[in-house]
Amino acid sequence: MPDAPSEFRYKRVLLKVSGEVLMGDQGYGIDMATVAEVAQAVAEVAREGVEICLVIGGGNIFRGLSKAAGDMDRASADYMGMLATVMNALAMQAALEKIGVQTRVQSALVMNAVAEPYVRRRALRHLEKGRVVIFAAGVGAPFFTTDSGAALRAAEMGCDALLKGTSVDGVYTADPKKDPTATRYDELTYHDVLARDLKVMDASAVALMRDSGIPIVVFSIREKGSFRRTLRGEGAFTVIHNAKTA
Ligand code: UDP
- Tens-digit pLDDT profile for residues 196-228: 999 899 999 999 999 999 999 999 999 999 999
Separation of alpha carbons 179 and 85, rounded Å: 31
Residue 144 CB–ligand 1 contact under 6 Å: yes
Rounded distance from Cα 244 to ligand 1 centre (Å)? 31
Residue 215 CB–ligand 1 contact under 6 Å: no
Which pTM was predicted?
A: 0.95
- Tens-digit pLDDT profile for residues 68-94: 889 999 999 999 999 999 999 999 999
- Tens-digit pLDDT profile for residues 103-144: 999 999 999 999 999 999 999 999 999 999 999 999 999 999
Averaged pLDDT for residues 144-170: 97
Q: Ligand 1, from 74, 85, 109, 218: best to mutate by most atoms within 8 Å of Cβ?
A: 85
Domains in the chain with CATH codes: 12-241 (3.40.1160.10)
pLDDT of amino acid 2: 57
- Residue-wise DSSP of 87-149: HHHHHHHHHHHHTT--EEEEESS--TTTSEEP-HHHHHHHHHTT-EEEEESTTSSTT--HHHH
Rounded distance from Cα 105 to ligand 1 centre (Å)? 17
